Copies of this chain bind each other. A is one copy, B any other.
Amino acid sequence: MSAAADDAPVSRRELIRQAATELFAQCGFRGTTIRAIAERAGVDPALVMHYFGSKEKVFSAVIREAMRAETFLPEVLDGTDEDLGRRLLRAFLRRWEDPDTQPLLLVVFRSAMEHPEASRLFREVASGEILLPLADRLETPEPQLRAVALGSLLVGLVSGRYVVRVESLADMTLDAVVDLFGPYAEQMISGRGDVDAPVPGTLRGAPGVGAESAPSGARD
């Protein structure tokens, strides 16, 4: 399964960076070798060293690109407070469902558990780029606490759904996830939201049950 882009004449350097991104996302930092990166990119291992200088430098390039691309928050923050939590959740999930951005997010997330640089970056991005702007935007009491709670919910969600792939989370449709977590997200940041009961029928137990079961009108 060659994952190289096949429509634009991308540079070999870029090809290597993409291959490295996927491998770091899948195998972590230690589990990824220069040789494997080269093989996946279809180039010689020495070429990886020639372009980047070291494995650490490759990793830094990947992480930096992931950080650069991660700016989903601003577009969500302008708008009414009414369904802010739900919109934020949906925008967040959209990036995790996107095959283009998922490896970038995965590499940061997974590496944050084992590599110091990724861990530091995760803290910085989480605090500075997500929690703080969100807290600044909120007009409810104790906005920092609310932002932290919502961040925890999102992290737990992606951990189960995309990283560890716990069945009950991984098998849900996207709309089902939004329907389940949306009200809680809403509660956390605005204190509003109806959480009497999660919408039924959203757990993909029986085969053939698709995205039909999402009556909510929330769209991005």
Interface residues of A (CB under 8 A from B): 27-28, 30-31, 110, 112-114, 119, 122-123, 126-127, 131, 140-142, 144-146, 148-149, 151-157, 159-160, 163-169, 180-181, 184, 187-188, 191, 195-200, 202-203
- A114: which of B28, B153, B157, B168 is its contact (CB, 8 Å)? B28
Complex CA gap A149/B30 in Å reads 32
Q: Can you report 12 A-B residue pairs in the complex whose CB atoms are below 8 A from each other?
A: A28-B114, A110-B113, A119-B164, A140-B197, A145-B180, A145-B202, A148-B180, A152-B153, A152-B160, A153-B153, A153-B184, A155-B160
Name the distance in Å between A147's Cβ and chain B's nearest Cβ.
Answer: 8
Q: Flag if B149 contacts A31 (CB, 8 Å).
A: no
Inter-chain pairs besides A30-B30, A114-B114, A146-B198, 6 sampled, C-beta below 8 Å: A119-B164, A149-B181, A151-B160, A152-B181, A156-B156, A156-B157
Contact status of A149 and B184, CB under 8 A, knowing A113-B113, A160-B155, A168-B144 = yes
Complex CA gap A142/B172 in Å reads 14
Name the distance in Å between A126's Cβ and chain B's nearest Cβ.
Answer: 5
Q: Flag if B155 contacts A198 (CB, 8 Å).
A: no
Q: Flag if B188 contacts A127 (CB, 8 Å).
A: no
Complex CA gap A19/B115 in Å reads 21
Contact status of A127 and B168, CB under 8 A, knowing A154-B156, A196-B191, A198-B145 = yes
Query: Which B residues are CB-close (under 8 A) to A30?
Result: 28, 30-31, 114
- A164: which of B112, B141, B142, B156 is its contact (CB, 8 Å)? B112
Complex CA gap A126/B168 in Å reads 10
